[in-house]
A and B are shown apart, each in its own frame.
Chain A
Amino acid sequence: MALVELDNVTKTYMNHVSVHALRGVTLSLQPGSFAAVAGPSGSGKTTLLNVVGALDQPDAGSVRIGGVDLTTTPPDQLADFRLRHIGFVFQAYNLLPVLTALENLEFIPALQGESKEKRIRRAEELLRTVGLSDIRDKRPNELSGGQQQRVAVLRAILTEPEVVLADEPTANLDSTNASLLLDMMEELNREKRITFLFSTHDPLVMERARRLIRLRDGEVVSDENRDGSAAGVKP
């Protein structure tokens, strides 16, 4: 069974800058995917991530994550759904500025009600595995952009959600840092079988994604599978 299933999802955003829209997108994502949604700005990739990430509900169609239909989930339960099932990495300003790296990692377990002792132990262990123990007590403004994004990725995967959504995670990074970040995510995907879905227009990300979905004007224009497993596009 697919982990993420979108069936004919339609969603229109309008603000004073632009119209973002999804026009009948249908796709599915298997557990353990390492997929990227690419397309020019305004193509609907951020909207797609918002819908998948339970930040927003579609105007029409259905979204199922791990079998739960988000279109029928009451809006006030979406926060809890995100907390328990989805990890987020944003383009920038991911980390809460008043918290140290370690405390930022503690944030989600703390929201989940985990004991202080346990969540600190988990956070420290994770920092150690990725070799970032030396920055544990640094605040975000004392970290480089690459370090901040890596901490953000660690925060997203710490509680092992079903899917991590990363919205242009490398947009503000140089290619060295972008590679480092992708290395880390690939490793987490491999080691911990964590599913990643990126939105990006960074060629580096598109290159390393094992599946590449291209959007244009809110529609899937291509869906390319590079590891041989079945692509989720229905004919």
Chain B
Amino acid sequence: MLFFNMAWRNVWRNRRRSLLTVMAISLGLGFNIFMRAIGDGFHEQMVDNSVRSHIGHLEVHRAGYHDDPGINKTLPNPEEIGRAIQSLPDLRGYSLRVLGDGLASTAENSAGVAIVGIDPTMERKVTTINRGIVRGEYLREGEVRPILIGERLAVNLKAGLGDKVVLLVQAADGSMGANLFRVVGIFRSGAPELDSGMAFILRQDAQELFSLQNRVTEATILLNSSRAVPASQQDLQSKLAGKGVEVLTWYQVEPFLLQFIQLDDAFFYIIVIFFFVVISIGILNTIMMSVFERVREFGVMMALGTKPRQIIKLVVEEAFVLALVGALIGSAIGISASLYFATEGMNLSSWAEGAAALGMTSTMVYTRLTAANVVISNLSVLAVVVLVGLYPAMHASRLRPVEAIRHV
């Protein structure tokens, strides 16, 4: 305790210098926590957007569908799969869909589309396409062949509300399926591939178009939280083992998204490392100076019998004091900023174009503060500062008492 008191008091001998160092540490740490919270929030929103615009947290297909999709690869025994899905503890909703490719055309133009046959009541619980309707309305059961198309597709086809769109497909039996649909709604998801290439129709219309009787292509599942994804995937896989189906997570369906997040994280860590290097240089300077000022003092301590190891400990403890005070203040800054923008959100409208390309529908980013963020950020700062303190500490411990005592 005597030694820790010494360390503490030594730090505050040069109050202004130490306060500046503490400020650098706390701003660096606060910034680090806050940036991480922005990143976590942004990534969560991206995943959520993607998950909720189309893919869901989990998808169940006939085994092999994802690698090589085909209209004939329908789900064996959808009722049984439905029961297994309903038994998931974290289930928020699921939707049974028909997926197929086809040609959408109007008198004006034609375009290849991904056709999604949905049950509007089920689909509403899973995806948010219904919230992205910019004109008209969502599909309703009982209408005669309604179709909901993306905004860009509507422009390409020159199709407005009430216009007729022909869907031409190759059906499951190899025949050509064609039918006339009427545009009831136009949506904007923010994701270009959805807005320019996706059309939603009623599931039974899709089954007729593709000659599927009552077969479906996939079950799309939304969970209460993305954190429940791995456990739910395992749960469902074990329940459906041997049934000839595949259960895929959003990041297996859309690996690009996960790769983007990982890349973004990598960039974040490069910036963090850069910050740490800058802060480390500042701390190194502070501690080096305080060691050089006290050469005679170290000489006396060593003459009295203080061992080099104990000198190292003292100097490292001084660095630790700086880091600890900086970490406390920095955490307070980082946590409060992160909590504030978690509810208030940050408007990133100037990045909106880039954000839209990443599947963002809103220009507001809400920070998300995790315990891991706070703990890891703090531990890294403490570790870095202590490591940085080690160099001047070694220097001090190698002083020769005879010379150090006479040092001016």
Contacts and interface: CB of A to CB of B under 8 A. Distances in A.
Given A96-B297, A107-B2, A107-B304, 10 more contacts: A55-B303, A79-B302, A79-B306, A83-B304, A88-B300, A90-B303, A93-B296, A96-B300, A98-B5, A98-B10
B13 interface: yes
B402 A56 contact: yes
A98 B6 contact: yes
B401 A55 contact: yes
A82 interface: yes
B402 A111 contact: no
Contact of A55 (B301, B306, B402): B402
B304 A82 contact: yes
A79 B301 CA distance: 10
B364 interface: no
A179 interface: no
B2 A110 contact: yes
B310 interface: yes
Nearest to A139: B9
Interface string A82-114: 111000101001101111000100111011000
A151 to B, nearest CB: 13
User: Which range holds the interface residue count of chain B?
Assistant: 20 to 34
Given A103-B2, A107-B2, A97 B297 contact: yes
B307 interface: yes
Interface of A: 15, 50, 53, 55-56, 79-80, 82-84, 88, 90, 93-94, 96-99, 103, 106-108, 110-111, 116, 155
Contacts of B107: none
B302 to A, nearest CB: 7
B372 interface: no
Given A80-B307, A83-B305, A111-B305, A106 B2 contact: yes
A103 B305 CA distance: 16
A99 B402 contact: no
Given A103-B2, A106-B2, A116-B1, A96 B301 contact: yes
A110 B2 CA distance: 8
Contacts of B300: 88, 90, 93-94, 96
Given A50-B402, A90-B405, A116-B1, A108 B9 contact: no
Contacts of B296: 93
B13 to A, nearest CB: 7
Interface string B294-326: 001100111111111010000000000000000
Contact of B13 (A55, A98, A106): A98
Contacts of A99: 2, 5-6, 9
B88 to A, nearest CB: 60
6 contacts: A55-B402, A82-B303, A83-B305, A94-B300, A111-B304, A116-B1
Given A110-B2, A116-B1, A98 B304 contact: no
A110 B3 CA distance: 9
Nearest to B296: A93
Nearest to A109: B2
Nearest to A92: B296
B305 to A, nearest CB: 3
A206 to B, nearest CB: 23
Interface in B371-408: 401-403, 405
A3 B129 CA distance: 95
Nearest to B303: A88
A91 B69 CA distance: 90
B15 to A, nearest CB: 13
B310 A111 contact: yes
A159 B250 CA distance: 72
B305 A82 contact: yes
Contacts of A55: 303, 401-402
